[in-house]
């Protein structure tokens, strides 16, 4: 629960909240090692999940200050509620963008990253002089929350086919707009 | 000549000839060096011709002779017009070699001529740089891992390559302008807590990738918006904000339609409920109400949701019963099993109940709609029938006093007809000005339309012009940059400015000399003229004197003597002049001869003759040795 936050001084809790938001936006989440003296593992996980849910709900529902403070009523003294609120207001845009991204990648498999390398095959086991350019394309596909690398190697024709089909897909996307 | 020799030696060095540092003029070239230089030039000019020629002279004399002949032939093939033969290479003399080398160096292909033909642009420079880098890397031989020096590490060890992983970055956006006031909390965050962009990603390797990705995303978004605004937004005659909001509502409507059409065919799913909603927001609210917020967004059916719900409830119940279970640990196992079995049974029962209920609900909803439709139809039929009945009732009421009522009706009809005519005329009266007004307004409207479309087209053309000119400016800037880089890349060892300065000096020298020559020429001409006039005067004076004295000579003896003296004087003077002229010609001849001697001295004739004699002796020795061998054989 968010009440657990009051174990930490206000200055540190601001940092922690920002790190939580970082994790929400796809960057490094806070490290348990830094706070192992303050909370047990169970409490830590609970605090993290409740803070994340709080930020998400508040931004998703466009909650006003009063609503958020009402949700934080248990935190009580020491101005912790105000810190959480200020962090929320400061990072609202970022959180909204992260939520939109999450909504965009609603399908079962989404493309997270891609990378390519151009290689020049000088020879093969049958031909001594080949000199064929090959493109190795690696896609990081997120499937049910887990990353799955997909790697393929293509010659010029295959690459052209891929590009053509991707362009056709883009055209369909543009028509939807 | 030293300048020329320097340029020649530099060009030869570029071709690949190894000219040692001490040699700084053509005079010091040995036969071997000349042959190497000429062959390398020929190889560059015409690789097919040059590949058959050796770069060094063979030891045997006759072989040397043959090499000289073939070289001379090759030079003539390339287009050297001067006199050339084996002797040019074997028994060199300076001016001939210089003219031959100059001819060859002039024929060398120019690199600058090639590069200036190629298309220009920043990308071309980049591509050329990439090509050069790849070529250099391909030229490096592959080495096994153990033998690699740190120098090869960059290109050959796979450790230096990172995968392209992107993480979102948080950048303070300063370019929002004064219109949007930044929140105080946001400012505090950016000032105190936000780490620098290089510290934001968790791995250092993904910093570059993340920045590149962010930049590309922002750039492409801006470009897309620009394109769309220029192509469609301008034509819609709205402000950007209005255009965006209109697009947003259109998209919302589309999504709503899609969702509703997807939700309608499956009324048993939880999303089938909110049929009467009219807004996307309400629809989404309905979704949210039916689907509890999860960490991972999943599309679930009603069944999965109910299942989850019952499970959580049961788990809550289980946690509540924990303390009671602690008391009796002995038979807890058995009880747990029993409980589990009963719970599973309950679950199955509940599931089947739910299934049955959903099926019932479906059935009921279908019958409900059917019944509602039927009811509506019945009601409509009812009201029609009621109207009919009322008309019939009235006619029946009127029937008893038929004639009277008929008259009344006729009067009523006439009155109403009159009223209609009256109203029509009144309407006409009102209508005419209104129509005029309408026409006028329409005309104004169309005028405005025309004007606005004209202005729109003007704006469009202006946009086009702006784009074209910016593109042009960019192109020119790129070209300028490219030229600057090319200039920087040009070899710096030959100082261009020194050459041009030297050339300018030479040109000015030539001009000065020309002026002097013309001055001397005019002087000579003047002198010639003076000499001519003087000789004429002399001739005339002599003729007059001669006549006068000849006349007097007949009378006086002394005068005859003086006449004789005069004749002798004249003859002697003539002889004197002749002698002076002769001396002049002889002096000129002497100078010519001296020059000839000098050139002959330059030709190293004596040394060459000695060498020729030596070579002749060598050839004779070779011949005699060969003959002896033949005899022995």
* C-alpha to C-alpha distances, B220 to B23, B214, B223, B224, B421, nearest whole angstrom: 62, 10, 5, 6, 70
Distance CA B453, CA A32 (A): 65
Which among A15, A26, A144 is the nearest to B193, CB-wise? A15
Specify which of B53-67, B228-242, B283-297, B512-526 reaches the highest per-range mean pLDDT. B512-526
Give pLDDT, residue B177: 45
Residue of chain B whose Cα is closest to the Cα of A23: B168
Give pLDDT, residue B327: 52
pTM value? 0.44
In this structure, the answer to whether residues A45 and A6 fall within a common structural domain is yes
CB atoms within 10 A of CB B148: 13
Instruction: Evaluate if residue A143 carries a pLDDT over 50.
Output: yes
Give pLDDT, residue B156: 58
**Does B167 contact A26 at a Cβ distance shorter than 8 Å?**
yes
Instruction: Categorize the per-residue pLDDT at B607 as very low, low, confident or very high, splitting at 50, 70 and 90.
Output: confident
B193 touches chain A (CB under 8 A): yes
**Average pLDDT over all residues of chain B:** 81
**Does B188 contact A26 at a Cβ distance shorter than 8 Å?**
no
In this structure, the answer to whether residues A145 and A94 fall within a common structural domain is no
Q: What string of DSSP letters covers B465-517?
A: HHHHHHHHHHHHHHHHHHHHHHHHHS--SS-HHHHHHHHHHHHHHHHHHHHHH
B186 touches chain A (CB under 8 A): yes
**Does B296 contact A27 at a Cβ distance shorter than 8 Å?**
no
Residues of B in contact with A15 (CB under 8 A): 193
**Average pLDDT over all residues of chain A:** 83
Residues of B in contact with A56 (CB under 8 A): 293
Q: Domain holding B3: CATH number?
A: 1.10.418
Report the pLDDT averaged over residues B324-328: 50
Specify which of B19-33, B84-98, B190-204, B365-379 reaches the highest per-range mean pLDDT. B365-379
Instruction: Categorize the per-residue pLDDT at A166 as very low, low, confident or very high, splitting at 50, 70 and 90.
Output: very high
Distance CA B85, CA B94 (A): 15
Among residues A81, A106, A131, the one where a domain terminates is A106
Residues of A in contact with B297 (CB under 8 A): 102-103, 106
B294 touches chain A (CB under 8 A): no
Give pLDDT, residue B149: 66
Which among B165, B185, B193 is the nearest to A113, CB-wise? B165
| B507 within a domain of the structure (yes/no) | no
Please tell me the least confidently modeled range out of A66-70, B292-296, B453-457. B292-296
Give pLDDT, residue B564: 85
**Among A53, A72, A62, A54, residue whose Cα is nearest residue A3:** A72
Instruction: Evaluate if residue B85 carries a pLDDT over 90.
Output: no
The token pair at B170 is: 């948080």
**Does A115 contact B170 at a Cβ distance shorter than 8 Å?**
no
What is the nearest CA distance from B200 to chain A, expressed in angstroms? 8
Among residues A65, A80, A106, the one where a domain terminates is A106
Label residue B491 left, alpha or beta by phi (over 0 means left) and psi (-120 to 50 means alpha). Answer: beta
User: Looking at the 3D structure of chain A, how many domains does it have?
Assistant: 2
Among residues B92, B110, B128, the one where a domain terminates is B110
Instruction: Categorize the per-residue pLDDT at B114 as very low, low, confident or very high, splitting at 50, 70 and 90.
Output: very low
**Does A57 contact B293 at a Cβ distance shorter than 8 Å?**
yes
CB burial string B259-278: b at 16+ within 10 A, e below: beeebeeeeebbbbebeeee
User: Residue B155 gets which letter from DSSP?
Assistant: H
Measured in whole angstroms, the distance separating CA B17 from the mean position of its chain's CA atoms is 38
| B623 within a domain of the structure (yes/no) | yes
| B574 within a domain of the structure (yes/no) | yes
In this structure, the answer to whether residues A88 and A166 fall within a common structural domain is no
> What percentage of chain A exceeds 90 in pLDDT?
12
| B598 within a domain of the structure (yes/no) | yes
Instruction: Evaluate if residue B318 carries a pLDDT over 70.
Output: no
Structure confidence by residue, pLDDT tens digits, B461-477: 999 999 999 999 999 99
**Does B166 contact A86 at a Cβ distance shorter than 8 Å?**
no
In this structure, the answer to whether residues A102 and A119 fall within a common structural domain is no
ipTM over 0.85: no
In this structure, the answer to whether residues A79 and A124 fall within a common structural domain is no
Give pLDDT, residue B566: 85
| B139 within a domain of the structure (yes/no) | no
CB burial string B521-535: b at 16+ within 10 A, e below: eeeeeeeeeeeeeee
Give pLDDT, residue B242: 85
Among residues A106, A124, A156, the one where a domain terminates is A106
| B35 within a domain of the structure (yes/no) | yes
| B390 within a domain of the structure (yes/no) | yes
Report the pLDDT averaged over residues B93-111: 80
B139 touches chain A (CB under 8 A): no
Instruction: Give the up-direction half-sphere exposure of residue B430: CA atoms within 13 A in the CB hemisphere.
Output: 5
Among residues B68, B87, B110, the one where a domain terminates is B110
Instruction: Evaluate if residue A132 carries a pLDDT over 80.
Output: yes
In this structure, the answer to whether residues A98 and A172 fall within a common structural domain is no
Q: In this predicted model, which residue has the larger pLDDT, B180 or B528?
A: B528
**Does B189 contact A145 at a Cβ distance shorter than 8 Å?**
no
Q: In this predicted model, which residue has the larger pLDDT, B621 or B560?
A: B621
**Does A25 contact B165 at a Cβ distance shorter than 8 Å?**
no
Q: In this predicted model, which residue has the larger pLDDT, B472 or B226?
A: B472
Distance CA B177, CA A5 (A): 37
Which among B166, B202, B299 is the nearest to A113, CB-wise? B166
Instruction: Categorize the per-residue pLDDT at B276 as very low, low, confident or very high, splitting at 50, 70 and 90.
Output: very low
Instruction: Categorize the per-residue pLDDT at B302 as very low, low, confident or very high, splitting at 50, 70 and 90.
Output: very low
**Does B189 contact A27 at a Cβ distance shorter than 8 Å?**
no
In this structure, the answer to whether residues A119 and A33 fall within a common structural domain is no
Mutation target to probe the A interface, by most A beta carbons within 10 A, among B155, B189, B255 is: B189
Residues of A in contact with B296 (CB under 8 A): 144-145
Residue of chain B whose Cα is closest to the Cα of A144: B296
In this structure, the answer to whether residues A83 and A123 fall within a common structural domain is no
Give pLDDT, residue B299: 44
In this structure, the answer to whether residues A26 and A69 fall within a common structural domain is yes
Domain coverage including residue A145: 115-176
Give pLDDT, residue B151: 60
Give pLDDT, residue B449: 94
**Does A113 contact B167 at a Cβ distance shorter than 8 Å?**
no
User: Looking at the 3D structure of chain B, how many domains does it have?
Assistant: 3
Residues of A in contact with B299 (CB under 8 A): 106
Q: Can you list the pairs that B289-298 forms with residues at least 24 positions away whose Cβ atoms lie under 8 Å?
A: B293/A53, B293/A56, B293/A57, B296/A144, B296/A145, B297/A102, B297/A103, B297/A106
* C-alpha to C-alpha distances, A76 to A9, A56, A80, B313, B391, nearest whole angstrom: 13, 21, 7, 30, 78
In this structure, the answer to whether residues A34 and A55 fall within a common structural domain is yes
Q: Report chain A's C-alpha Rg in angstroms.
A: 24
Please tell me the least confidently modeled range out of B76-90, B366-380, B610-624. B76-90
Instruction: Categorize the per-residue pLDDT at B206 as very low, low, confident or very high, splitting at 50, 70 and 90.
Output: confident
| B93 within a domain of the structure (yes/no) | yes
Structure confidence by residue, pLDDT tens digits, B427-464: 999 999 999 999 999 999 999 999 999 999 999 999 99
Give pLDDT, residue B230: 79
Instruction: Categorize the per-residue pLDDT at B181 as very low, low, confident or very high, splitting at 50, 70 and 90.
Output: low
B147 touches chain A (CB under 8 A): no
Domain coverage including residue B54: 1-110
Instruction: Categorize the per-residue pLDDT at B99 as very low, low, confident or very high, splitting at 50, 70 and 90.
Output: confident
User: Residue A155 gets which letter from DSSP?
Assistant: -
Give pLDDT, residue B297: 45
**Does A89 contact B186 at a Cβ distance shorter than 8 Å?**
yes
Give pLDDT, residue B250: 86
What is the nearest CA distance from A14 to chain B, expressed in angstroms? 9
Give pLDDT, residue B70: 87
Report the pLDDT averaged over residues B539-567: 84
Could you give phi then psi for residue A112, rounded to 5 degrees? -90, -50
Give pLDDT, residue B317: 44
Instruction: Categorize the per-residue pLDDT at B520 as very low, low, confident or very high, splitting at 50, 70 and 90.
Output: very high
């Amino acid at each position: 629960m968010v009440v657990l936050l009051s174990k930490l001084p206000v200055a540190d809790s601001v940092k922690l909240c920002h790190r939580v938001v970082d994790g929400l936006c796809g960057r490094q989440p806070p490290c348990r090692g830094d706070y192992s003296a303050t909370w047990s593992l169970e409490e830590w996980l609970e605090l993290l999940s409740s803070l994340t849910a709080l930020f998400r709900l508040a931004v998703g529902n466009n909650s006003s200050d009063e609503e958020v403070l009402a949700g934080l009523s248990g935190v009580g003294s020491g101005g912790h509620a105000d810190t959480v609120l200020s962090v929320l207001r400061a990072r609202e845009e970022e959180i909204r963008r992260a939520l939109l991204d999450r909504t965009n990648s609603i399908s079962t498999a989404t493309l997270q990253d891609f990378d390519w390398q151009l290689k020049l095959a000088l020879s093969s086991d049958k031909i001594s002089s080949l000199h064929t350019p090959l493109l190795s394309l690696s896609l990081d596909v997120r499937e049910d929350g887990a990353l799955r690398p997909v790697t393929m190697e293509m010659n010029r024709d295959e690459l052209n086919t891929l590009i053509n089909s991707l362009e056709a897909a883009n055209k369909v996307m543009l028509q939807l707009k | 000549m030293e300048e020329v020799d320097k340029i020649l030696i530099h060009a030869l060095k570029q071709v690949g000839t190894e000219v040692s540092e001490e040699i700084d003029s053509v005079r010091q070239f040995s036969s071997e060096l000349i042959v190497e230089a000429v062959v390398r030039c020929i190889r560059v000019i015409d690789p097919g011709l040059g590949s058959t020629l050796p770069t060094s002279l063979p030891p045997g004399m006759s072989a040397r002779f043959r090499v000289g002949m073939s070289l001379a032939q090759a030079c003539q093939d390339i287009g050297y017009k001067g006199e050339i033969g084996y002797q040019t290479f074997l028994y060199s003399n300076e001016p001939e070699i210089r003219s031959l080398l100059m001819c060859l160096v002039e024929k060398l292909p120019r690199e600058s001529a090639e590069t200036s033909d190629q298309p220009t642009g920043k990308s071309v420079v980049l591509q050329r740089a990439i090509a050069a880098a790849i070529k250099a890397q391909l030229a490096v031989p592959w080495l096994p891992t153990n033998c690699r020096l740190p120098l090869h590490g960059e290109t050959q060890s796979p450790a230096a390559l990172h995968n392209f992983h992107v993480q979102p970055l948080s950048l303070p956006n300063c370019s929002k302008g004064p219109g949007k006031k930044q929140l105080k909390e946001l400012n505090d965050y950016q000032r105190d807590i936000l780490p620098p962009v290089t510290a934001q990603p968790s791995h250092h390797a993904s910093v570059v990738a993340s920045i590149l990705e962010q930049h590309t995303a922002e750039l492409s978004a801006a470009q897309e918006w620009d394109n769309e605004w220029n192509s469609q937004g301008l034509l819609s005659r709205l402000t950007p904000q209005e255009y965006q909001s209109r697009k947003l509502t259109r998209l919302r409507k589309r999504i709503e339609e899609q969702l509703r059409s997807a939700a309608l065919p499956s009324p048993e799913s939880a999303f089938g409920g909110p049929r009467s909603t009219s807004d996307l927001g309400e629809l989404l609210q309905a979704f949210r109400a039916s689907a509890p917020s999860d960490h991972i967004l999943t599309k679930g059916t009603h069944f999965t949701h109910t299942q989850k719900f019952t499970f959580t409830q049961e788990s809550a119940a289980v946690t509540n019963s924990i303390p009671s279970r602690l008391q009796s640990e002995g038979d807890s196992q058995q009880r747990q099993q029993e409980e589990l079995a009963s719970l599973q049974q309950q679950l199955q029962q509940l599931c089947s109940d739910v299934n049955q209920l959903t099926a019932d609900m479906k059935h009921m909803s279908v019958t409900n709609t059917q019944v509602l439709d039927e009811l509506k139809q019945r009601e409509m039929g009812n009201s029609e029938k009621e109207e009919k009945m009322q008309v019939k009732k009235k006619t029946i009421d009127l029937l008893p006093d038929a004639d009277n009522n008929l008259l009344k009706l006729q009067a009523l009809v006439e009155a109403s007809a009159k009223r209609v005519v009256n109203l029509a005329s009144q309407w006409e009266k009102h209508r005419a000005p209104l129509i005029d007004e309408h026409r006028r307004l329409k005309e104004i409207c169309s005028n405005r339309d025309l004007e606005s479309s004209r202005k729109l087209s003007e704006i469009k053309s202006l946009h086009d012009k702006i784009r074209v000119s910016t593109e042009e400016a960019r192109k020119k800037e790129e070209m300028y940059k490219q030229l600057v880089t090319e200039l920087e890349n040009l070899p710096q060892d030959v100082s261009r400015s020194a050459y041009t300065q030297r050339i300018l000096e030479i040109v000015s020298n030539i001009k000065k000399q020309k002026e002097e020559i013309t001055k001397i020429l005019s002087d000579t001409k003047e002198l010639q003229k003076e000499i001519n006039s003087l000789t004429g005067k002399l001739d005339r004076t002599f003729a007059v004197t001669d006549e006068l004295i000849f006349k007097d000579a007949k009378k006086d003896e002394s005068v005859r003597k003086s006449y004789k003296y005069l004749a002798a004087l004249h003859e002697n003077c003539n002889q004197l002049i002749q002698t002076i002229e002769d001396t002049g010609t002889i002096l000129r001849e002497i100078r010519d001869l001296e020059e000839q001697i000098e050139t002959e001295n330059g030709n190293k004739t004596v040394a060459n003759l000695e060498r020729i004699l030596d070579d002749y002796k060598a050839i004779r020795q070779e011949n005699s040795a060969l003959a002896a061998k033949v005899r022995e054989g």
